Structure 1
C-alpha cells in the first residue's frame, strides 16, 4: 500500500519528496451532483489534493442523529477525489470556523450540560468522541495506507486564537488515534508567536494560515518548527462577505504573486478557497467583535472557481504559476462557462405566515421568556406571543435580541429591532391593547471567538414601561423543510399583479427545458428566504451586497419547478426574475 509521512524537510509519498498542491472544496456547500465537476477542475488547475472541513452540526443536527445522506455523503465525496487520482486532507474539527453556523459545533452541546467547549470538559469530550466514532467508518478505510486518498488529518482549527488547553489537544489526538486514524496529524494557526505556541503540540506538524507576505509568514512558521515541510494550509485568496458591507475581492496579480513566492520557497499549499460554494438554507455563520455581522448566502470567496463552478481570471493565473512546479496538459482544461437563462416567473399563490402557523408545530406556554435553544430549536425563526393592555405611552424593551425581531400588534407591524444596530427597545402605539407577537430571526451563530455557542431568540426579560411581561406562548418555526407550506400554497390563489405584504409565503412554477444553473435576482424584494423544488437556496436581503441567489442546475426539472418565497416585509410586484449572470454586489480593493 502507498505510504505518506513527514520527513526532515519534505512530505514523503512512498519514500519520495512530495509537494502538496491542494485546494479547499467543502462538500457541504456544493450540490452533490456537482462534486465530480469541481474536483476535476481542481486537478485541471494543477492541484493534486482536495481539502475539506467536516461540519459536525450539519451531520448531527440533534443528539442521536448522524446524517450522511445526499449532500452530507462524505464517503462518496472522498471516493470521487480518489477516482480523479487526487489525495485528500480532512479537517473534522470538531471546530471548523469556515464562516459556518456556530463554527460547526452543534448548538445542543450545552443542553447536555457542557460547561465549556473546545476544552477538556467531560461532557464536551464525550460528545465529540461520539462524533469522531461516527466518522471512523468513513475516514479510516479511506486513508492512504488502506488504499484511499486521505493523507493528512487536522486536529482542531486555529486553536491558538481561542485557547491554550494542552490537555484538551492531547485528548483530542488520543481519540483520533483510537478510532483508527494513522496518517500524520497537523494543526493550523495564523503565523503569530502566541498562536503558534498555544495551538499545537510537539508531536503535531504545524502549518500556517495567511494570504500575503508569504516569505515573512513562512519564516515565522519555521522559527516554531525547525524541521519538516513548510505548508500554508489556508492560503487565503479571497474573503467572505457580511450583509450590508461590500463584496470582498483580491487582485489576481497580487494573489498569483503571493502564491508564486510561496511555491518558490518550496512550501506546500492549500488554496482557501479553490471553490467556495454556497451557504444554503440557514447554514451561514456570523462574526461579532463589538458589532454583530451575519455572513451572506454566497460563499464565492473570490475563489479561482466561482460559486457556479466557472473558472475565473484567478483560476488561469494560478494555473500558470502552478505549471512551473508540476506538469500540466494544455489540452485538459475546463469548458467555457455558459450564461444563465433570463426570464420572469409569476408568483400567484400566496399564504400569510399567520395562516401557516398550524403547520409549524405546537405552541408552548411559559412563565417568562425562553430562548429558542431552551426549546430545542437551533436555527431559523421563533415566534413569541403575549397579550397586553397599556394606558397611555407604551415602550417595549428587551434585555437582548438575537438577532432580529419584527414586532406586531394584532398582526399589524410596529417596528423591527436589530442586534447589529444594538436596538433593544421601540415605542408601541399609545394605549396599546391586543396580541403582541415578536418574530425573531436567528441570522446565524457566531463562528469565531468567545461568543461561540450563545443561545438565540429573546434573551433575558421583556418589559413595557419597565414592567416585566411574564406570560408568553412560543412557537419555533422549522423552515429547513417547507413541504407542508408548499402543499397549502398549491391550493391558494391571489391577484398576480398585487404587491406583496409580509410576512407571507408566495409561490409559482416555471419550466427550464434548457437545463443548467440559474441566478435568481432578488431586486425589488426586501428580506426573506427562497426554496426551489423544496430545497432552500438561502437568505436574501435588500441591504446587499449580494443581489442574486445561485440555483444549482441539478435541482431543476425541465417542467413544473416550484419556487417558494418567504418575504418578511414587502415587495412591489408578485414575480421574480432569473438573470444571465451572478451579482454579488459592489467591491472595494
Structure 2
C-alpha cells in the first residue's frame, strides 16, 4: 500500500520526494461521459494529481435525500482518476465558493429559523454531519491509507475571508475524522496574515495552503512568515493557482494574457512549491447553479459558462494555453512523461425550425406545482429555492385613476403582469419603486414572475438573512399588503407534458419548441443571440441561463445531451424576444472580451 506524508521540507510519496502538479476538474460541472477525456488530458500534460470540490447542494438537493448518481457519482470519478495514474485532492467542505450557487450550500438550509451558516451553530453542524455520514462512506475507502488515490482533504475553504471561528473549524475537522478521514488535512486561504490567522489551523499543525494567481514570491513569503510566527514549518503549496477568471452578466469576458500567465506559473514552480491549477477544466454551471458576486447594493450574477480561460475550454478541448503549459512543464521537468491530448470535433447545424410555442399563463398548470397561502412564501419555503415562481392574486379597483403598487423585498428579478399584460420588469435596483397602473375593471388578476438569478457564493452576504429568494414580504396596494396568494413553482422536469398547441400571446413569458434530426451527435453551442432572457433545455437537460445582456450569447451543448435521430430543444423565454430558427454552432459567442492579469 502506498503512503503519502507531509514533512517540514516537502511532500513525500512512498518515502520519495513528491512534486505536486495538480489540476482542478469539478466532476459536477462536466457530463460523466467526458470525465475520461479531461482526466486523460491532465495526465498527458505530465501532471500527477486532480483536485475537486464536493458539492453539497446537488448531493443533498432536499433535506435527507441524497444523490450520487450520473455526473454526481463521486466514487466513479475518483476511481477513474486512479485508473489513469492520478492522485486525488478532495475538498469536501460544506462551503466551496467556486462561483457556484450559494457556494454549494443547499437552499433548504434557509428554511431553518435563525440558522448561522459556516459557524459553531448546532443546527448547521447537525446538517453537515448528516451530509458527511453519506459523503464519507464514499471518501473513506478511497483514501491512500486504504489503497485509494486520495492524498489530501480540505477542512474549510477560504474561511479566513469569512470568519475566524476556530471552534467551528475544529468541529468540521472532528466530523471528518469521526467518519474516517485519516489522510493529510489542510486549509486554503489568501496568503496573508489576516486571512491565515482567521482561517487556518496552523496552531494545530494543520497544513495551510495559499490561493493566488500571481506574485508567488510575495505570497509564499507572507505564508512562511506566518508559519514562523507560530513556530511551524510546512511545505509551500498554492492550492488555487488562478490561471483565468470567471465572468458576470453585463460585463466583458475576462481573458488572461498567456505570456503573463506562464511567467506567473514559472515563478511558482521555480520556488519549488506544489501547485494546483484552478481551473484545469472549468466546465458549465448547468441548470440554475451559477453563483453571484456580492455587492453592497447591486449583486452581480455570474454567467452559465465556467470556461474560466482554463487550459481545457468549456467543451473540454485543449486551448493554446494547454500547449503552452505543456511546453513549460516539459522544459522544467524533462523526466516527466507527456502525451498528446485527446481532441474531439464539434458539430454545427443550421436553421432548426420552431415547431410549437405556448405562453406560460396558458400552460401554467402543466409546468408547475401550485401552493396557496395567505401571505406569499419564499422559494425555499415552497420546496424549490431555484429558478422561477409565479405569484398570483386578485386585486380590487379603488380608484378611477391609476393604482399604486410596490413590491417589497423581492429577489432577484420580476415581471409584473395585470390580466396577462406586461406592465413592468424590475431588477435589484428598481424593486420597491412605485408601479402605477390603471385597472380597467372592478377586479384584476395580478401575476408576478420572480426569478432567482443565483445566490452569492462569497463574502459577507453569505447568510440566511440575505439569500432567501422569491416575493419577499409581499406586494403593497397603496399603503397595505395584499393577501391571498397562489404560487406556481415552475418545474422544468414536467416539460414532456407540455401542450404546445395552446395560445402564445405576444410579450408573455413563453415556451418555444424546436426539433432536429442528427446523424451523429457532437459537442456544440446553442446560439441564443436572437433571444431575450431565460433558460434552454435539450432533450430535458437544462443547459442553464441565457441573457441578451451578454457577454455570453451561446450555451454549451455536450454531445451526451444529444442523440442520434430526433432531438428536442425547448426554450423558456421571459421577455417576448425569440426567433423562429435556431443554430448549433462550433464555438462560443461572446459580446465583449477584456484582457486581464491576476
Q: Distance in 2 between matches of 1:571 and 1:470?
A: 32
TM-score, structure 2 as length reference: 0.94
Structure 1 residues 427 and 398: CA distance shift in structure 2, 3 A? closer
Q: Which residue of 2 aligns with 1:436?
A: 446
Matches within 5 A, 1:151-166: 151-166=151-166
> 8 Å contact 1:521–1:548 — kept in the other structure?
yes
How far is 1:363 from its partner?
2.8
User: What is the total number of aligned residue pairs between the two structures?
Assistant: 581
Matches within 5 A, 1:516-527: 516-527=522-533
Unaligned stretches of 5+ residues in structure 2: none
Q: Which residue of 2 aligns with 1:407?
A: 416
- The more displaced of 352-361 and 301-310 is 352-361
1:475 to 465, 469, 488: 488
Matches within 5 A, 1:128-207: 128-201=128-201, 202=203, 203-207=205-209
> 8 Å contact 2:420–2:508 — kept in the other structure?
no
Q: Distance in 1 between matches of 2:424 and 2:371?
A: 25
1:458 to 449, 467, 471: 471
> 8 Å contact 1:407–1:414 — kept in the other structure?
yes
Q: Which residue of 2 aligns with 1:587?
A: 593
Structure 1 residues 80 and 178: CA distance shift in structure 2, 3 A? same
Q: Distance in 1 between matches of 2:346 and 2:73?
A: 29
How far is 1:500 from its partner?
6.5
Q: Which residue of 1 aligns with 2:456?
A: 446
TM-score, structure 1 as length reference: 0.95
- The more displaced of 31-40 and 455-464 is 455-464
1:366 equivalent in alignment to 2:373: yes
- The more displaced of 112-121 and 560-569 is 112-121
* Runs of at least 4 residues off by over 6 Å: 328-331
Q: Which residue of 1 aligns with 2:348?
A: 341
> 8 Å contact 2:50–2:88 — kept in the other structure?
yes
Q: Which residue of 1 aligns with 2:260?
A: 254
Unaligned stretches of 5+ residues in structure 1: none
Q: Which residue of 1 aligns with 2:574?
A: 568
SS for the counterpart of 2:471 is strand
Q: Which residue of 1 aligns with 2:559?
A: 553
- The more displaced of 237-246 and 373-382 is 373-382
Q: Which residue of 2 aligns with 1:216?
A: 218
How far is 1:107 from its partner?
1.6
Q: Which residue of 1 aligns with 2:425?
A: 416
- The more displaced of 46-55 and 358-367 is 358-367
Q: Which residue of 2 aligns with 1:506?
A: 512
Deviations 1:211-261 (A, max 9, x none): 011111111111122412100000011111111111011111011110000
Deviations 1:104-163 (A, max 9, x none): 011212424462110111111111011111011210111112111100000110000001
SS for the counterpart of 1:242 is coil
> 8 Å contact 2:53–2:92 — kept in the other structure?
yes
Deviations 1:151-202 (A, max 9, x none): 0000110000001111111111111111111100010001121101110112
> 8 Å contact 1:499–1:573 — kept in the other structure?
no
2:339 to 327, 332, 344: 332
Q: Distance in 2 between matches of 1:572 and 1:28?
A: 30
> 8 Å contact 2:410–2:473 — kept in the other structure?
no
Matches within 5 A, 1:66-145: 66-113=66-113, 115-145=115-145
- The more displaced of 522-531 and 342-351 is 342-351
- The more displaced of 330-339 and 380-389 is 330-339
> 8 Å contact 1:348–1:493 — kept in the other structure?
no
1:297 to 296, 300, 304: 304
Structure 1 residues 189 and 331: CA distance shift in structure 2, 3 A? closer
- The more displaced of 361-370 and 311-320 is 361-370
How far is 1:335 from its partner?
4.3
SS for the counterpart of 1:262 is helix
SS for the counterpart of 1:356 is helix
SS for the counterpart of 1:348 is strand
Q: Distance in 1 between matches of 2:136 and 2:444?
A: 55
Q: Distance in 1 between matches of 2:336 and 2:121?
A: 51
Q: Distance in 1 between matches of 2:375 and 2:516?
A: 46
2:244 to 235, 238, 244: 238
SS for the counterpart of 1:447 is coil
Q: Distance in 2 between matches of 1:272 and 1:426?
A: 45
How far is 1:23 from its partner?
0.5
Deviations 1:64-103 (A, max 9, x none): 1110010100000001100110000000111001111111
How far is 1:509 from its partner?
1.3
Q: Distance in 2 between matches of 1:527 and 1:368?
A: 28
> 8 Å contact 2:359–2:505 — kept in the other structure?
no
How far is 1:450 from its partner?
2.3
Structure 1 residues 585 and 276: CA distance shift in structure 2, 3 A? farther
Structure 1 residues 62 and 83: CA distance shift in structure 2, 3 A? same
